[in-house]
Copies of this chain bind each other. A is one copy, B any other.
Amino acid sequence: MDYSALLEEIVDELAGQRGCGRVADYIPPLASVDPNQFGIALMEADGREHVAGDAEVRFSIQSISKVFSLTLAMQHARDDLWQRVGREPSGNRFNSLVQLEHEHGIPRNPFINAGALVVTDVILEVLADAKRTLLDLVRQLSGAADAGFDDAVADAEAASGHTNRAMAWFMKGFGNLRGDPEAVLDAYFHHCAIALSCRELARAGMYLAHRGCTLDGTCMLSPQQTQRINAMMVTCGAYDAVGDFAYRVGLPAKSGVGGGILAVLPGHFSACVWSPGLDSAGNSMLGIRALEALTARTGLSVF
């Protein structure tokens, strides 16, 4: 498969659609991102890399960070992780409090905001400097030693994150957040504010396509743990559009409101697309179309 040519083709064909969708506007640093950007990167399991479009521009990874937080939590897993957070698709908006109330403060899965807050709380219980440890993990996985938090984003999230704050206090009320909600929120907002490029994120996700290990042989998770994260990416990774995403794209993936989507085909590749315009479910509109083209043309999918 000549992925380089294919990625170029996809970027060319979708060029006319640059700017479609709606850029996340709940905080100024996201609202001001140029909507016409569109990048894609793919790393094969043998280490070959392919890029097209704005693949070297860093963007806010937002909810894609939830994959790395969960990886950290599973590495240090306490027995009760899956008592405190479920593994089912929510069927609701990512920031809904409704299920949280009906289900006594247990979030449906680790990829909605409430679930990621619990995962962050778990990490804070076991790691001295959880905020920093996650950044170190991301640097290691991506090879981007200079990757960091976008403080403007983190600060804006903190200043306007009323619903996430409500969620944290709500779970505190149910006893499912053990630490100080403000500390959990601070770590969570920073994790979301990490900035990476498509190329860096595709590299960072390679362990998910490679049985839990980076290409240099460092193993983050067991093969079974890796399959399980991939499974959750299929059932819970695309907000409340997971069914549609699986139907159209057919790959384990996690999206973020920054417009990025990390997708993997186990045994074959790790890929990342980015374009800031979102669809109504909060997934990158052009990103989904690019991934759809990728699997349609190659005939590859996990299904």
Chain A interface (Cβ < 8 Å from any Cβ of B): 86-92, 96-102, 108-109, 162-163, 165-170, 172-173, 223-224, 226-228, 230-232, 234-236, 240-244, 246-247, 250, 252, 266, 296, 299, 301-303
Contact = CB atoms under 8 A, between A and B. Distances in A.
Contacts of A241: 88
Main secondary structure of the interface of A (DSSP, over half): helix
Contact of A243 (B101, B109, B168, B247): B109
A163 to B, nearest CB: 4
Contacts of A97: 97-98, 100-101, 166, 170
Contacts of A224: 296
Nearest to A244: B87
A173 B166 CA distance: 8
A303 B173 contact: no
A97 B299 CA distance: 37
Given A97-B101, A108-B243, A166-B169, 5 more contacts: A91-B91, A91-B108, A97-B170, A231-B243, A234-B246
B173 A230 contact: no
A232 B246 contact: yes
A87 B281 CA distance: 14
Contacts of A227: 250, 301, 303
